[in-house]
Structure 1
């Protein structure tokens, strides 16, 4: 099944923003999802529109008076306009363009008001057949409003009020004392449906927040807060398949492996090693752009995904990251360390066009760089007649020859 990637715009008009606000507990990304849910699907839309057109048309054919004919015409025109706005919104949301969100919700309110108007005039003339049909349609619609729109309880309440409120006006105009019971029924029904909408909204937001947190945990490293292997693969796929910079070209994957990190763990303990990894993560964040992605995919292995970089720029970035990560570390308790880093680079499209291929090639380049570095270091020490050793001290750790 193809994933729906539609993104609907947040409302701009203050009144509409207030109507659809789900509450302070929902962050913006969840608000956008809730807004998308309020647009609904075409089958649900046609079900509601056809119902109101059929009911208004049947009553207009029975009464054949201007108020009912006007109601029927209003429902046809409103249904056509709503369908047009919904289609424009769906296409714009799929293309990630601004959507006419404010207009869509105003039309929603006009629709519920039209149903309330039809029930009002049907009660007012005292034709109990027409009134029964109109009121049954309005009552059924209220149930649908509560179920479909609880993502925005205020909007649900406003639509229920504009549907049921006119019932009381129609009852007063009918002259039938028994109908005054609606002055008790409608307020209680309105309060119950709004309360239910708020309760369902709280449950929905809480569920979405939990899913959001679980998704974050699944895609991020718990120690450093960087992306993990799952999050990195998703970021690579999004960069390769999505729009914007980096699509199909100028995408660099840098594979970084810390040199001598094991000596920090062995000498100062895992707490010091964990702190060093956190500092490395901070240095990566500070060295990258907002559009770049940094990930920790193993004990001391990191990957950087950088968009819009060619081979020369990727090499420059690798050198900057090397300089930053190789600077001395203060791990507290008068413990200092200095480590190195090896960097391997893979590019799109030169080295592949999928996540697995890029990571594999970057990993291969990394270990080739490490091997070359070790050979050069060994040759230099042999020429000097020294044997390689690692010197450790409370304030630092660096390769040295003794």
Structure 2
């Protein structure tokens, strides 16, 4: 879908929301993607515009009466306005601004109404050439309507009804009783195409859900729901690697103390339950803008744009203190563990994730070597510890 890379606004008006309703329990992200699909497939859009204008012009030229001339003028005006609104919507979407989605949707319905009105006029004109040309054009437009608007099956049904429905309305005014078959033919066609549009839409939504779930699982830890290594790498690339100039970032490396004893004493199920509780505390302790990740075993990482050293030390000490509080598992066991933290800063200790991880790991090792339950921040040429100063360390102020 050509519109998939751009983000178009969801409709705000009641009638347009009804037209594109994707059904219950559809996430907003998928609804936005479906709206984007309505702005795509530009070759089909251009083909429809050229066809409807050309057909209305030729018929108005063959039967130069006021009704046909008004129809031709409406087709030209509607198509020009649709092109302008589409161009404006794409331009605004590229700049991250709100788009005129409601107007665009209603213009599509108006265009279908114009084709239907022209078909009615042509069939009742008594000119079989004009009637055949108008009906052929309307039938051709239905294919484009279905393919272009598959993201909104209700809108597909409305547009088909407006495009072909006038064939039924014109049948009683045509001196050909055989045309009355359209009262059976077109409603059946409308029903079958609308059902097909709903089925295609359901398949599309199911596929989009699966894609998003797969993408989520690819970047998140299945046990805790935190980001995994891939998610951490993506977050780092988004926040720092893409624009390192003037950007600062902190990598907080947390490791649990005594976790192996829990697994050995209570079993791996208890260990998994404990990791889930740790993850819950970690989420509550970091800011919403921070990225918390579990990178394996009992190791956790937080990416934070909070980079002032005194604040980082307070955060690290708080993580150590809160994570080390006792836990009660569903099994009734009360478990106490500890935590040690090492912190590195970008760009001070590197501008890539591997360098930061190495620096934070070295700080974490220093924290554990000094008795655990400490937070240590890597310095430029030495490590800076929040606890007691020692060789190669200095107290952080």
Unaligned runs of 5+ residues in structure 1 are 377-402
Call closer, same or farther: CA 1:118–1:13 in 2, change over 3 Å.
same
Call closer, same or farther: CA 1:113–1:358 in 2, change over 3 Å.
farther
Call closer, same or farther: CA 1:332–1:30 in 2, change over 3 Å.
closer
- Distance in 1 (CA, whole Å) between partners of 2:88 and 2:152 is 22
> Who is 1:255 aligned against?
253
Normalization by structure 1: what TM-score? 0.85
Unaligned runs of 5+ residues in structure 2 are 375-397
CA-CA distance at 1:41 after TM superposition = 3.3
Tell me the SS of whatever aligns to 1:297: strand
> Who is 1:72 aligned against?
72
> Who is 1:55 aligned against?
55
CA-to-partner distance for each residue in 1:24-77, whole Å, 9 max, x for gaps? 142222111111111113323212211111211222222222222222222222
Tell me the SS of whatever aligns to 1:79: helix
Normalization by structure 2: what TM-score? 0.86
One of 303, 306, 322 as aligned partner of 2:304:
306
Contact 2:241 2:351 in 1 (8 A): no
Tell me the SS of whatever aligns to 1:342: strand
CA-CA distance at 1:190 after TM superposition = 0.7
Contact 2:120 2:169 in 1 (8 A): yes
1:32-181 pair list within 5 angstroms: 32-181=32-181
Q: In the alignment, does 2:338 pair up with 1:340?
A: yes
- Distance in 2 (CA, whole Å) between partners of 1:151 and 1:11 is 14
> Who is 1:350 aligned against?
348
- Distance in 2 (CA, whole Å) between partners of 1:140 and 1:204 is 24
> Who is 1:197 aligned against?
197
Call closer, same or farther: CA 1:221–1:166 in 2, change over 3 Å.
same
- Distance in 2 (CA, whole Å) between partners of 1:311 and 1:179 is 83
CA-to-partner distance for each residue in 1:337-359, whole Å, 9 max, x for gaps? 33222222233443444444444
> Who is 2:264 aligned against?
266
Contact 1:311 1:347 in 2 (8 A): no
- Distance in 2 (CA, whole Å) between partners of 1:247 and 1:223 is 36
Call closer, same or farther: CA 1:326–1:47 in 2, change over 3 Å.
same
> Who is 2:230 aligned against?
230
Q: In the alignment, does 2:343 pair up with 1:367?
A: no
- Distance in 2 (CA, whole Å) between partners of 1:176 and 1:241 is 72
Contact 2:20 2:155 in 1 (8 A): yes
One of 277, 280, 285 as aligned partner of 1:282:
280
Give the CA RMSD over aligned residues: 2.5
